[in-house]
Structure 1
Amino acid sequence: MTDATAKSPSANLAPMFISHGSPMLVARQNTPAFDFFVGELGRHTDGVRAILIVSAHWQTDAPTISTAEQQETIHDFFGFPQPLYDLRYDVVGDPDLAGQIADQIDIATDDARGLDHGAWMPMVLARPNADIPVFQLSMLGHGSPKDHYELGKKLRGLRDLGVLVIASGAMTHNLRVLDRNEGPIDPWATEFTDWMLEKVKAHDIDALLNYRSLAPHAAMAHPEDDHLMPFYVALGAASDGFTPDLIHNSYEFGNLAMTAVRFYDQGAIKTAA
């Protein structure tokens, strides 16, 4: 992966995939992932007009964008400590901009939908002052990697509007085999993640779209693939000649990959620098 840095607003408009992890991320302050969200992710969002998040936790039959003026904090998880349910991320949306995007890519709008934990959890750490408007775009409830890749392609023009696309899911997501004792990292998790990153670096889009049959341990890494689908939106939103930048790669609970990748358009960055 490249060692690119974000020295211009254009650099910070590179589409990004992040693994948002457990809702307990906001309380696990002694982990590499926490440090990434608090530090580096914040820097990678500086200077943008707005942030559009595609989260694994909002799925609809057809793509839908949230146009709420004030983004509600949705606590869409169960069995966690009460302070997590008391936490609020009081950030505004941008109804006019969201509506403009909806018209531009011909999708539906939802003026009541707020931010699920795949959206507000990263942002409450990266932008605690809620100083940049945030709104969401839904995933396709029964969509394939190809469907989400094509959805991402429709978002390529958002850079021109100053909108950063963040796709929030998980590089690996098998909750049944998490190691709560934080033992050694399971080899299957690293082998799957390494395969995905190698194919990204090689621009092997066909292999990535067919990960289910080609990637090692695909069914173990994703018994259900909803948390990987945001990755394909970010991949589609990247330019054809993207340069990948691995900005974070740690593991929690033995096999939960907290991988984050940005997809640069080096030509646009050099022009703006």
Structure 2
Amino acid sequence: MVPALFLAHGSPLLAIQDNEYARFLTQLGSQYKPKAIIIFTAHWEKETLTVSYMDQSYDTIYDFYGFPEEMYNIKYPAKGSTAVADQVIARFAAHNIPVQKDTTRGLDHGSWVLLRRMYPDANIPVVQISIHPFLSPEEQFKIGQALQGLGQEDIMIIGSGVTVHNLRIIKWEQTTPEPWAVEFDDWLLEKFNAGDQEALFHYDQLAPHARLAVPRPEHFVPLFIAAGSGDPSTAPQVIHRSYELGTLSYLSLAF
């Protein structure tokens, strides 16, 4: 059995950095050995939920600019799995969630940077899924709920995003987090610990500094998907918390 995870993917430089969070991801990968991984990435937006559908190795997508040359030489040739994708598609259909297939798209950095740290041998099949950032949090949660129980089959579900993600106000030289970023994450954890879904679904109105932390929801909604897909009898667990550049949160949770 493996948990559902919300993991911060942060800067693409995580692929080559040696820092606290990179070491955490390596340790996390050694802790769990799933038979397949389903990953919802903030960097693939579609109005209709779209599931990667292939058995061959993925291309590695470099969806970033101005980074060191070595970043563009990294390959993460994980294979897909149409068998696992069929399971996912059937579950969405059973919950009346519209879904379509994609047979060509590679892994974007929201997927491969995390997975390369966790499973550097690229030997675990991956099914990548898009997000629709403008569905309500409750609808995102229901997408996750459609996949509940897959962790008991050793299929790991990952929501790849960031809780506090405002690139316009990052502090390049700052090594301590901005208080407002910490307050926003504290509020989230308080509501998760209390099981207060209603407050979480209305975070944009109730959470302190919500507009600063989440100026656009694409990096935030994977949190609700991961939460919905987890074991409802298990309390959410903070598995990592740190900050970079003042405002970039690496808060990660297991559900």
Normalising to structure 2: TM-score of the pair?
A: 0.93
Equivalent AA in structure 2 for residue 120 of structure 1 = W
Does the CA contact (< 8 Å) of 1:17 and 1:260 recur in 2?
yes
In structure 2, the partner of 1:36 is: 24
In structure 2, the partner of 1:60 is: 46
Deviation at 1:151, TM superposition (A): 0.7
In structure 2, the partner of 1:131 is: 123
3-state SS of paired residue (2:189): helix
Between stretches 89-98 and 164-173, larger displacement belongs to 89-98
Query: Separation in 2 of the partners of 1:133 and 1:126?
Result: 13
3-state SS of paired residue (2:139): helix
In structure 1, the partner of 2:163 is: 171
Query: Separation in 1 of the partners of 2:85 and 2:120?
Result: 22
Deviation at 1:162, TM superposition (A): 2.8
Deviation at 1:242, TM superposition (A): 2.5
Q: How many corresponding residue pairs? A: 249
In structure 2, the partner of 1:225 is: 217
3-state SS of paired residue (1:52): strand
Deviation at 1:79, TM superposition (A): 1.6
In structure 2, the partner of 1:96 is: 83
Does the CA contact (< 8 Å) of 1:68 and 1:114 recur in 2?
no
The verdict on how the C-alpha distance between 1:141 and 1:183 changes in structure 2, with shifts beyond 3 A counting, is closer
3-state SS of paired residue (1:226): helix
**Any runs of at least 4 consecutive aligned residues in structure 1 with deviations exceeding 6 A, and if so which?**
none
Query: Separation in 2 of the partners of 1:79 and 1:97?
Result: 35
Which of 241, 245, 253 lines up with 1:253 in the alignment? 245
Does the CA contact (< 8 Å) of 1:171 and 1:193 recur in 2?
yes
Deviations 1:195-221 (A, max 9, x none): 101111111111111000100000011
Which of 90, 100, 113 lines up with 1:121 in the alignment? 113
Does the CA contact (< 8 Å) of 2:176 and 2:244 recur in 1?
no
Which blocks of at least 5 consecutive residues in structure 1 are unaligned? 1-9, 264-273
Deviations 1:130-151 (A, max 9, x none): 1211121111143221221111
Equivalent AA in structure 1 for residue 143 of structure 2 = L
Deviations 1:79-108 (A, max 9, x none): 211211111101111112212321232222
**Is 1:192 paired with 2:184?**
yes
Backbone CA RMSD of aligned residues: 1.3
Deviations 1:106-129 (A, max 9, x none): 222111122110110011111001
3-state SS of paired residue (1:138): strand
Which blocks of at least 5 consecutive residues in structure 2 are unaligned? 94-98
Does the CA contact (< 8 Å) of 2:9 and 2:110 recur in 1?
yes
Which of 75, 83, 101 lines up with 2:70 in the alignment? 83
Query: Separation in 1 of the partners of 2:215 and 2:133?
Result: 16
Deviations 1:252-272 (A, max 9, x none): 111111011001xxxxxxxxx
Query: Separation in 2 of the partners of 1:75 and 1:162?
Result: 29
Deviation at 1:182, TM superposition (A): 2.5
Which of 186, 189, 198 lines up with 1:206 in the alignment? 198
Query: Separation in 1 of the partners of 2:133 and 2:166?
Result: 19
Normalising to structure 1: TM-score of the pair?
A: 0.87
Does the CA contact (< 8 Å) of 1:71 and 1:135 recur in 2?
no
3-state SS of paired residue (2:218): coil
Does the CA contact (< 8 Å) of 2:134 and 2:217 recur in 1?
no
Equivalent AA in structure 2 for residue 36 of structure 1 = F
Query: Separation in 1 of the partners of 2:91 and 2:60?
Result: 27
In structure 2, the partner of 1:23 is: 12
Query: Separation in 1 of the partners of 2:152 and 2:105?
Result: 25
Deviation at 1:184, TM superposition (A): 2.7
Deviation at 1:160, TM superposition (A): 4.6
Query: Separation in 2 of the partners of 1:21 and 1:15?
Result: 19
3-state SS of paired residue (1:88): coil
